[in-house]
Amino acid sequence: MNESNLMEKIVSLAKRRGFVFPGSEIYGGLAGTFDYGPYGVVLKENVERLWLSMFRDSRDDMYGVDAAILMNPKIWEASGHVAGFADPLVECEKCKRRFRADHLDDATKCPECAGALGEARQFNMMFKTHSGAMEDDSATVYLRPETAGGIFTNYKNVVDALHPKLPFGIAQVGKAFRNEIAPRDFVFRSREFSQMEIEYFVPSGEWEQAFEEWRKMMHLFATAIGLPHDSVHELEVEAKDRAHYSKRTIDFEFDYPFGRKELWGLAYRGDFDLSAHAQASSIELAYLDEESKEKFIPHVIEPSFGVDRTILAILASAYKEDVMGEETRAYLALAPKIAPVKAMVSPLLKNKPELVEKAREVRAELQKIHPAIAWDDNGNIGKRYRRQDEIGTPFCITIDFDTLGETPDLKDTVTLRHRDSGTQERLSIAEVAERIRSAIQ
């Protein structure tokens, strides 16, 4: 399978099986926006939940916030986004199309009509709107370009409410918006996307140690969501390419079908943000160390994960095909922990009430382990398996006459079919329950 072909197959499967749809599709779409469908939304939630469980809920040094998307515009002035969150834009003098200059091989010639491109100018990527009934500049607000802003502005609230000891971190999952000049590559570069971000506050002398710890944990998360180890690479970002706030950045890159590109970022933001917000708001944001009585502005390590790029990396690495003679079986080898459906139960024949009744019983039993146990009695068993393969369901369970005791030794056993190998085993219902439990733990 060549790589552009793979991308087409992923986009097609995502739409056909209800993972990701183009945004506003019935009105011809809206560039750079996507809607998550029934399986996509659960996959996304499973990834976010796993992230929250690993990095917030299971740790004593982490706290959560869910800040407003609309924030006082002074925040984005202090953070440097109003002045500097821009990409170089060029416009074709002939066809008037606009491009991001640093994405072009030749920034003098239009890639669409070969007309001359004008001088590059800086284009601010923040979406602007108005808050309240006034539509003048005094009412301008921005849709947040990173979730980080809502963490820095709540740093003092968290310290005052919970008195955490340094080092500690604040985690947030939510939407961010960037008016990208050229959205592209499916959900990879969109105008509305989700981030999972942590600002981890440390005394300045401890930043290197914290940076190394988070670097390891980001790799652990990649493994937990099933990204192959050799598809995630670190790139030490040169000073000239780093964001204005960063003193060190490592990009975690992934081998996407369209090339090796940034998946996540790990940045050392120093005391840039808290100092800038303290100065602009005239509110003291220094931390008081209760033991030494010292007051200082903590430094910050920021592991930042784009949710949509994570979903695309998961789909790209999970998409597999088995060619069996004339037929090709497509399946998503999703890690059971994040698979939207954990198992499917079906009666061998849907017109045999005794099989249906037993299958319903088995499903209810398995739903005590996890609610996402699907039911499918449409078409033949082979078709049911194919449908579940395409959405990445790790296990299929079939109830047949042996389950009911036609062969007395096999009473209360079922067939358990494994998605990746397609192999089947005969197991007791209790054994199947155990298999599912241990796979999703």
DSSP secondary structure letters along 374-436: EE--SS-HHHHHHHHHHHT--EEEEE-TTTTTSSGGGTTEEEEEETTT--EEEEEHHHHHHHH
Among 178, 358, 363, 435, binds ligand GAP (CB under 6 A): 178
Q: Please tell me whether residue 48 binds ligand GAP under the rule CB under 6 A.
A: no
Q: Which residue matches tokens 């917030």?
A: 56
Query: What whole-number distance in Å separates Cα of residue 117 and Cα of residue 90?
Result: 6
109 vs 215 by CB, closer to ligand GAP: 215
CB of 247: closest distance to ligand GAP in angstroms?
14
Distances (CA, A) of 153 to 63, 85, 372: 14, 19, 38
CB of 237: closest distance to ligand GAP in angstroms?
9
Query: What whole-number distance in Å separates Cα of residue 180 and Cα of residue 177?
Result: 9
Q: Please tell me whether residue 144 binds ligand GAP under the rule CB under 6 A.
A: no
Q: Please tell me whether residue 273 binds ligand GAP under the rule CB under 6 A.
A: no
180 vs 390 by CB, closer to ligand GAP: 180
302 vs 376 by CB, closer to ligand GAP: 302
Which two structure tokens, joined as six digits, stand for 219? 């790799």
Q: Please tell me whether residue 197 binds ligand GAP under the rule CB under 6 A.
A: yes
Among 11, 39, 67, 146, binds ligand GAP (CB under 6 A): 146
CB of 79: closest distance to ligand GAP in angstroms?
10
Cis peptide before 336 (omega within 30 of 0): no
Touching ligand GAP, residues 307-326 (CB under 6 A): 308-309
CB of 189: closest distance to ligand GAP in angstroms?
4
Q: What is the DSSP letter of 145?
A: S
Q: Please tell me whether residue 185 binds ligand GAP under the rule CB under 6 A.
A: no
- Choices 63-71, 185-193, 288-296, 325-333; region in contact with ligand GAP by CB under 6 A: 185-193
Query: What whole-number distance in Å separates Cα of residue 170 and Cα of residue 61?
Result: 9
Q: Which residues of 424-435 are buried (b: 16+ CB within 10 A; e: fewer)?
A: eeebebeebbeb
CB of 153: closest distance to ligand GAP in angstroms?
13
Among 13, 148, 301, 396, binds ligand GAP (CB under 6 A): 148
Name every residue whose Cβ is closer than 8 Å to that of residue 83 and which is 6 or more positions away in sequence.
77
Among 79, 124, 179, 304, binds ligand GAP (CB under 6 A): 304
Q: Please tell me whether residue 153 binds ligand GAP under the rule CB under 6 A.
A: no
345's enclosing H/E stretch is: strand 343-347
**Residue with the shortest CB distance to ligand GAP:** 306
- Choices 101-109, 262-270, 348-356, 361-369; region in contact with ligand GAP by CB under 6 A: 262-270
Query: What whole-number distance in Å separates Cα of residue 389 and Cα of residue 333?
Result: 8
5 vs 122 by CB, closer to ligand GAP: 122
Are the C-beta atoms of residues 175 and 192 closer than 8 Å to each other?
A: yes
Closest to 178 (Cα-Cα) out of 361, 309, 48, 42: 309
Query: What whole-number distance in Å separates Cα of residue 206 and Cα of residue 298?
Result: 10
Beta-strand (E) ranges in 77-167?
Answer: 86-91, 98-100, 121-124, 128-130, 140-143
Q: Please tell me whether residue 142 binds ligand GAP under the rule CB under 6 A.
A: no
Strand, coil or helix: 6: helix
Query: What whole-number distance in Å separates Cα of residue 186 and Cα of residue 223?
Result: 23
Query: What whole-number distance in Å separates Cα of residue 220 and Cα of residue 264?
Result: 13
Q: Please tell me whether residue 271 binds ligand GAP under the rule CB under 6 A.
A: no
Are the C-beta atoms of residues 311 and 332 closer than 8 Å to each other?
A: no
CB of 148: closest distance to ligand GAP in angstroms?
4
- Choices 187-195, 327-335, 372-380, 410-418; region in contact with ligand GAP by CB under 6 A: 187-195
Q: Please tell me whether residue 265 binds ligand GAP under the rule CB under 6 A.
A: yes
| Total residues found in the chain within this entry | 441
Q: Please tell me whether residue 392 binds ligand GAP under the rule CB under 6 A.
A: no
Q: Please tell me whether residue 268 binds ligand GAP under the rule CB under 6 A.
A: no
Q: Please tell me whether residue 154 binds ligand GAP under the rule CB under 6 A.
A: no
Q: Please work out the total of residues on this chain that contact ligand GAP, with binding judged by CB under 6 A.
A: 18
Q: Please tell me whether residue 190 binds ligand GAP under the rule CB under 6 A.
A: yes
195 vs 403 by CB, closer to ligand GAP: 195
304 vs 388 by CB, closer to ligand GAP: 304
Which residues of this chain interact with ligand GAP, rule CB under 6 A?
146, 148, 178, 180, 189-190, 193, 195, 197, 262-265, 302, 304, 306, 308-309
